Amino acid sequence: MNAEISARLRGAAGFIFDMDGTIALGDSKSGGHRALPHAIAVLETLKAAGTPFVVFTNGTAKPPAAYAQSLRNAGFPVADGQMLTPSSSAAIWLAKSGLTKVRVLGNAGCAAPLVDAGLDVIGPSDEAEGVQAVYTGWFREFDFAALEAGCHSLWGGARLVTASNVPFFATENGRAIGASYPINAMLSAMTGKRPRILGKPSRVAFETALGVMGLPRSAAKDIIVVGDDPALEMRMANDAGASSVGLATGVMSADAELPEHSRPSCLLGDLEPMLAALQAG
Ligand SMILES: [Mg+2]
């Protein structure tokens, strides 16, 4: 890691960490997490220095507090309020946009932040008129009834919004399918509507993280986004004018040929050089 990047890490206003493939790997069988090397020490170092950080996963299988508990079980110093999912930013964006009647094509964990925000959440295949948005997320139980209900809401004028639109994420057992990607493909094929992404790499997600850290939009250039997926974390950082640390511990390989908008400021094989840079401060 060069001196300029080291200095940027030490002077950062805040950090946004990805979860799967970056600080931990999830076991799809147990549902728990295992810390990746040096990840706990990196977060402990930031906590000790009083530097704000959040963990923003694009997963919506569970409510944010359940992911935070899973990370604490694995040894991480992550409070419930420091854990974000796309449903966290979706709840804020939908409320602000006046789209309060929302059909959620997702499981209970996906819908929880929208319910908590007081939105009128319609179940996947419930009959409803006047649905203003269809929100897709983690939903292994997706079926034809949900497809039909989602299409009828979209044909009736609802906006299509989604937690995430990447095909894969990293798990202990290799790559796994991101549920919303194929669901979005079906809904788009049937209705011609393209999903607006409210998780990473959207500006909505980035600004939600800034808000949770108590930082103004002007702090964007002093934010470091750390992740393993160039299409998510690197893209989000570059679009927002932030810096990024890419890790070859998940879906990205160390020799990946990346387009400019998905290139990290610095690509690492693991978190050890980042830990060393932070501890040198
Ligand atoms: Mg990841």
pLDDT in tens, 75-122: 999 999 999 999 999 999 999 999 999 999 999 999 999 999 999 999
- In this predicted structure, the answer to whether residue 36 has a pLDDT above a threshold of 90 is yes
Token pair in block for residue 167:
């095909």
How far is the centre of ligand 1, averaged over its atoms, from the C-alpha of 166 (Å)? Answer: 11
Mean pLDDT of the chain: 95
How far is the centre of ligand 1, averaged over its atoms, from the C-alpha of 18 (Å)? Answer: 6
How far is the centre of ligand 1, averaged over its atoms, from the C-alpha of 130 (Å)? Answer: 36
- 37-52 tens-digit pLDDT: 999 999 999 999 999 9
Dist CA 219 CA 247 (whole Å): 23
How far is the centre of ligand 1, averaged over its atoms, from the C-alpha of 101 (Å)? Answer: 30
Supply the angle between the helices 39-49 and 272-280 in degrees, to the nearest 10.
20
**Topology annotation, domain 87-197:** Rossmann fold (3.40.50)
Cβ atoms of residues 6 and 47 within 8 Å: no
How far is the centre of ligand 1, averaged over its atoms, from the C-alpha of 56 (Å)? Answer: 10
Give the DSSP H or E segment for 148: helix 144-155
How far is the centre of ligand 1, averaged over its atoms, from the C-alpha of 10 (Å)? Answer: 23
- 156-215 tens-digit pLDDT: 999 999 999 999 988 888 888 999 999 999 999 999 999 999 999 999 999 999 999 999
Q: What is the mean pLDDT of residues 217-243?
A: 97
- In this predicted structure, the answer to whether residue 154 has a pLDDT above a threshold of 80 is yes
- What residue spans in the chain does CATH classification 3.40.50.1000 cover? 3-85+200-280, 87-197
Q: How many CB atoms lie within 10 A of CB 175?
A: 13
pLDDT of residue 1: 85
Closest CA to 271 of 238, 241, 249: 249
Token pair in block for residue 114:
């929208």
How far is the centre of ligand 1, averaged over its atoms, from the C-alpha of 156 (Å)? Answer: 35
Dist CA 173 CA 34 (whole Å): 12
Q: How far is CA 49 from CA 26, 79, 216, 237, in A?
A: 28, 16, 20, 23
How far is the centre of ligand 1, averaged over its atoms, from the C-alpha of 273 (Å)? Answer: 19
pTM reported for the whole predicted model: 0.95
How far is the centre of ligand 1, averaged over its atoms, from the C-alpha of 210 (Å)? Answer: 19
| pLDDT band, residue 33 (cuts 50/70/90) | very high
| pLDDT above 70 coverage of the chain, percent | 99
Cβ atoms of residues 45 and 76 within 8 Å: no
How far is the centre of ligand 1, averaged over its atoms, from the C-alpha of 169 (Å)? Answer: 6
How far is the centre of ligand 1, averaged over its atoms, from the C-alpha of 171 (Å)? Answer: 9
How far is the centre of ligand 1, averaged over its atoms, from the C-alpha of 116 (Å)? Answer: 26
Closest CA to 16 of 234, 169, 271: 234
How far is the centre of ligand 1, averaged over its atoms, from the C-alpha of 50 (Å)? Answer: 25
Q: What is the mean pLDDT of residues 140-159?
A: 98
Instruction: Give the HSE-up count for residue 20: Cα atoms under 13 Å, Cβ half-sphere.
Output: 25
How far is the centre of ligand 1, averaged over its atoms, from the C-alpha of 149 (Å)? Answer: 31
User: Which CATH number applies to 3-85+200-280?
Assistant: 3.40.50.1000
How far is the centre of ligand 1, averaged over its atoms, from the C-alpha of 202 (Å)? Answer: 15
How far is the centre of ligand 1, averaged over its atoms, from the C-alpha of 22 (Å)? Answer: 6
Cβ atoms of residues 275 and 268 within 8 Å: no
| pLDDT band, residue 72 (cuts 50/70/90) | very high
How far is the centre of ligand 1, averaged over its atoms, from the C-alpha of 242 (Å)? Answer: 18
Token pair in block for residue 272:
């050890």
Dist CA 19 CA 34 (whole Å): 11
Of the two residues 236 and 250, the one the predictor is more confident about is 236
| pLDDT band, residue 28 (cuts 50/70/90) | low
How far is the centre of ligand 1, averaged over its atoms, from the C-alpha of 98 (Å)? Answer: 31
How far is the centre of ligand 1, averaged over its atoms, from the C-alpha of 227 (Å)? Answer: 6
Of the two residues 21 and 252, the one the predictor is more confident about is 21
Q: What is the dihedral of CA 262, 267, 272, 277, to 10 degrees?
A: -90
